[in-house]
Every structure is written in structure tokens, then in C-alpha cells.
Amino acid sequence: MNSEELEPIDAERCQGESRESSFMTFGIPSFIRCSQKPRWIAISVRSGTFYGAMSLCDECKKVCEIRMPDISFQKLGAVVNETP
């Protein structure tokens, strides 16, 4: 993955997504983006190399902590859209 494929951090809206399914989708769930204001930046580093980052609200951060324990978090502050 190169930097052109990464979506920049959104300081206005959480970038967490959840699956939404209905009997009308015939079992194919769609993803919907969280509408909350973010307070955290989740940072993924693999083999010592920056892999990606996304903004998360408190609720999505809790889910991320459970599902992806190797992710680190920083409070969303003055520096946005910059590689840590």
C-alpha cells in the first residue's frame, strides 16, 4: 500500500465503520461509517514501518482495542494528517 491509497485522517468525523445487514441484502452486509466526532487517532505500525492511521470516537476506539490489540492510540490534537 502506498501513501496515495491512504485516506487522510478526518478530524471532523470518526472513520470507524460497522456492518449493517438486513434480510433485504440477502446476507451481504454493507458498511456504514460512524457519525460521531473523533477524539482519538489509531496508529498501525507493522515491522517498524508506519502502515496507516485513522480517527476514532470513544466507542469505536473501545471496539478497536478489543479487535486489534497491537494498535496504538493518541489523543486527537493540533496535529492532523501528518505521519507520526
Question: What's residue 74's pLDDT?
Answer: 92
Question: What's residue 78's pLDDT?
Answer: 47
In a domain, 61, yes or no: yes
In a domain, 82, yes or no: no
Spans of the chain, pLDDT less than 50: 1, 78, 80-84
- What is residue 59's DSSP assignment? H
Say how many domains are in the chain: 1
In a domain, 55, yes or no: yes
Question: What's residue 73's pLDDT?
Answer: 93
In a domain, 22, yes or no: yes
Nearest to 52 by CA among 63, 39, 43: 43
In a domain, 69, yes or no: yes
Torsion of CA 31, 47, 84, 63, to 10 degrees: 30
The alpha-carbon radius of gyration of the chain (Å, integer) is: 14
Q: Which domain, by its residues, includes 49?
A: 3-75
